[in-house]
Amino acid sequence: MKKKHNFYAGPSILSEYTIKNTAAAVENFAGSGLSLLEVSHRGKDFIAVNDEARVLVKELLDVPSTHEVIFVGGGASMQFCMAPYNLLNKKASYLDTGTWASKAIKEAKIFGEVEVVASSKDKNYSYIPKEYSVSPDSDYFHITTNNTIFGTELHTIPDVGVPLVSDMSSDIFSRPVDVSKFNVIYAGAQKNLAPSGVAVVIVRTDALGKVDRPIPSMLSYRIHVDNDSMYNTPPVLPIFAALQTLKWYKEQGGLPVLQQKNIEKAAILYAEIDRNKLFKGTAAVEDRSLMNVCFVMNEEYKELESAFNEYATANGMIGLKGHRSVGGFRASIYNAMPKSSVEALVETMKAFEKTV
Ligand SMILES: *Cc1c(COP(=O)(O)O)cnc(C)c1O
């Protein structure tokens, strides 16, 4: 079979290392003669997996000792409610940079006053607003560092005078970040880490316990932290796969190395979008995402959109169709995407241009 290049936005490409080791553990976990799918999560072998994965998250992101790492079921969307449930006492501020940010805002409003400091909705979320101020009495300022659907990314983390909370679902582990600026960082696993079913959450423990409302146990960061991320049965398979991905990241030299590779891959693809007469990028140049590259056909070639899609698919390029709210194409080039696949896409774009 011809090699497929996986550009899906999520669930999305995982390293071969992750997939092979997870498949092997589904057959025979830690030499136990049993499948990973049928062992107790409280057995010593899985506790070791859970602990090592949490330690590796800390190591790779240089998480300070003020913060703890937990794995929580329910994906990033669960964190849209869990973060305000645990942290929003009176008021929180949010930056509206896209569909996911808007969903986070909607949930936060259930818990208190929400100040939306700026929005890029006026231009279909094609840029990151930069002129705004955050009320100093806000409990936190929520940002979405990478906007998966619209292909924009915050290239600098803002300093606003209140602690940050961030949805990093689609760019966690793609670059180093200063975790000390954040009360909470959360990310659904299915972009840069593991199969869906779990979110990794990094929480500053002394930011907890400050809200007046009672918090149901499963939605309480404190309960998950105090139980070493084993309050109930955790998503065993995604956490095992996450550990494989984290080991693979460490083996390659950690986040500074991954960041360099990501910068290089994105530069190759954006250069071709800018050069090729058929295409144009949709995101403001200075806010272009290194993870999700969105592009459309230039006006005069609009009618070739489905022809290019078919041509690319025939050449092994999978998952390039853009989200319906942007249209056109989106190439998701997460950490696990090799440079050779980005080069193959560029070759396909060049070859298609020649046919026109
Ligand atoms: C995919 C994604 C989500 C949604 O994640 P779920 O795990 O499906 O809830 C939220 N935020 C961002 C930035 C995403 O990319």
- 235 CA → ligand 1 middle, Å: 17
Q: Which amino acid is at 97?
A: T
Quote the percentage of the chain above a pLDDT of 70: 99
Tell me the pLDDT band of 33, cut-offs 50, 70 and 90. very high
Average pLDDT over the chain reads 97
Look up tokens 């991954």; give the residue. 258
Could you tell me which residues come within 8 angstroms of residue 326 by beta carbon, excluding any fewer than 6 positions away? 124, 149, 150, 151, 282, 294, 296
Please state the atom number of ligand 1 nearest to the C-alpha of residue 190.
Answer: 7
Contact 330, 296 (CB under 8 A): no
Those residues whose C-beta lies under 8 Å from the C-beta of residue 308, and which sit 6 or more positions away, are: 278, 297, 329, 352
Q: Does the pLDDT at position 78 exceed 60?
A: yes
Q: Is the pLDDT of residue 62 over 60?
A: yes
Residue closest by Cα to atom 13 of ligand 1: 169
Ligand 1 centroid from CA 32, angstroms: 35
Return the best residue to mutate from 170, 198, 201, 326 for the ligand 1 pocket (most ligand atoms within 8 A of CB): 170
Cβ count within 10 A of residue 195: 18
Bridge partners of 71? 200
**Predicted pLDDT at 68:** 98
Nearest-10 crossing angle of helices 339-355, 305-314: 130
Amino acid, single-letter form, for residue 297: M
Is residue 247 over pLDDT 70?
Answer: yes
Closest CA to 148 of 245, 297, 8, 265: 8
**Ligand 1 site, residue 98, Cβ cutoff 6 A:** no
Contact call for residues 309 and 327 (beta carbons, < 8 A): no
Q: What is the pLDDT of residues 192-202, one digit of tens each?
A: 999 999 999 99
Q: Say if pTM beats, i.e. exceeds, 0.85.
A: yes
**CB neighbours (10 Å) of residue 251?**
11
CB burial of residue 213 (10 Å; 0-12, 13-18, 19+): exposed
pLDDT digits (tens, 9 = 90+) for 288-308: 999 999 999 999 999 999 999
Maximum separation of any 2 CA atoms in the chain, in Å? 65
Q: Please give the number of the atom of ligand 1 that sits closest to the Cα of 196.
A: 7
Ligand 1 atom having least distance to the Cα of 75: 7
The catalytically annotated residue of 96, 139, 167, 171 is 167
Scan for tokens 């959360």, then name that residue.
Answer: 186
What is the per-residue pLDDT across 198-215, written as a single tens digit (0 to 9) for each?
999 999 999 999 999 999
The yes-or-no verdict on residue 64 having pLDDT over 70 is yes
Q: How high is the pLDDT of residue 1?
A: 53
In the beta sheet, which residues pair with residue 5? 317
Task: Label residue 2 by pLDDT band (50, 70, 90).
Answer: low
* Backbone dihedral region for residue 209 (phi beyond 0: left; psi -120 to 50: alpha; all else: beta): left
CB 205 within 8 A of CB 68: yes
pLDDT at 4 over 80: yes
Q: How confident is the model at residue 354 (pLDDT cuts 50, 70, 90)?
A: very high
| pLDDT above 70 (res 37) | yes
Smallest CA-to-CA distance from 321 within 338, 298, 300, 296 is with 296
Q: Which of 64, 85, 253, 291 is nearest to 174 (CA)?
A: 291
Q: Which residues contact 216 (CB under 8 A, 6 or more apart)?
A: none
> Which pLDDT does position 3 carry in this prediction?
79
